Amino acid sequence: MDSLRRKAQQLLESKEVDCIIGYNEGSSGNVHAGFITTPGQAEKLIFDDRCKQNLGVYLTKHEVMRLGKLAIVAPVPVMRTVLILTYECQIVENSVKVLGIGLDGQFLDFNEYADIEKYLTDHCNEHPEEDKKLIEKISAMSVEERWDFWHETLKPCIKCFACRQACPMCYCVRCQVECNQPQWIPVQSSELGNMEWHFMRAMHLAGRCTGCGDCGRSCPLGIPVHLLTFKMSDVVLDNFNTKAGLTIKEPSTLSTYKANDKETFIR
């Protein structure tokens, strides 16, 4: 943590960056995102097991972008987020300084995004064990059982859109749920409409999900919606042998076609 703080301080002192997005101590034992703009504040940066939020979500937020040149404290899912956002032209390559935190919790000073790619080749995050088990359990269900499971699970959703807002990949200016000509998905919370909303979101995340789990973590009702996007990552991995956000050279899996792509899904 000391090396992270030292680096942050130095970046702000040298005016190499204007703001560092990192984790701060929050209220009631929580941590929350902090926006460090002076060298003196670098002390406030922390990193521990509680620091799970994918801070990459702030890289496309207008009021944060206005702060100037940014650096970001980046555990592995955030690193992957930076690479996807770069590929998807939301940020410019090497424009955001990445203060990496490795899988082992060590600070990684990346000079350029190519270094991140190198690191990620053998340090990619996996789904947590309990999520893996749940996904296995759900995958083993019959179609009817699975439908019932999601129907029941998504029923309490109040459509507060915390899942979408927490997701760094959900940066659309106008989300499909807000498009009303035609109205694809109902505005209100309703049993089938909730399923439509979450399945649609999962589809849009297929091949783009970094596995941060923030969608599920942010749900005020504790609905495990991240299992949907996690499962999508598994499907993409099984079918195309790719993981999202490991490189800025390759477009996301579902927006590319390769001659050797499996086409077994076409029946």
- Identity of residue 105: G
Provide the 8-state DSSP code for 234: H
Query: Residue 232 Cβ, how far from other proteins at the closest point, in Å?
Result: 21
Which spans of this chain sit near other proteins (rule: CB under 8 A)?
Answer: 26-28, 30-35, 53, 57-58, 61-64, 158-162, 164-166, 178, 180-181, 183, 186-190, 214, 217-222
Query: Residue 205 Cβ, how far from other proteins at the closest point, in Å?
Result: 17
**Nearest C-alpha neighbor of 81 from the set 214, 264, 225:** 214
| Number of residues assigned to the chain | 267
How close are the terminal C-alpha atoms of the chain, in Å?
A: 53
Q: Tell which phi-psi region holds residue 77, choosing left (phi > 0), alpha (psi between -120 and 50) or beta.
A: alpha
Closer CB to other proteins, 5 or 164, in the complex: 164
Closer CB to other proteins, 112 or 178, in the complex: 178
Query: Residue 188 Cβ, how far from other proteins at the closest point, in Å?
Result: 4
Query: Residue 158 Cβ, how far from other proteins at the closest point, in Å?
Result: 5
Closer CB to other proteins, 165 or 239, in the complex: 165
Query: Residue 16 Cβ, how far from other proteins at the closest point, in Å?
Result: 20
- Report whether 216 contacts 182 (CB < 8 A): no
CB burial readout 83-94, b (16+ within 10 A) else e: bbbbbbebbeee
State how far Cα 165 lies from the chain centre. 11
Closer CB to other proteins, 108 or 212, in the complex: 212
Closer CB to other proteins, 136 or 178, in the complex: 178
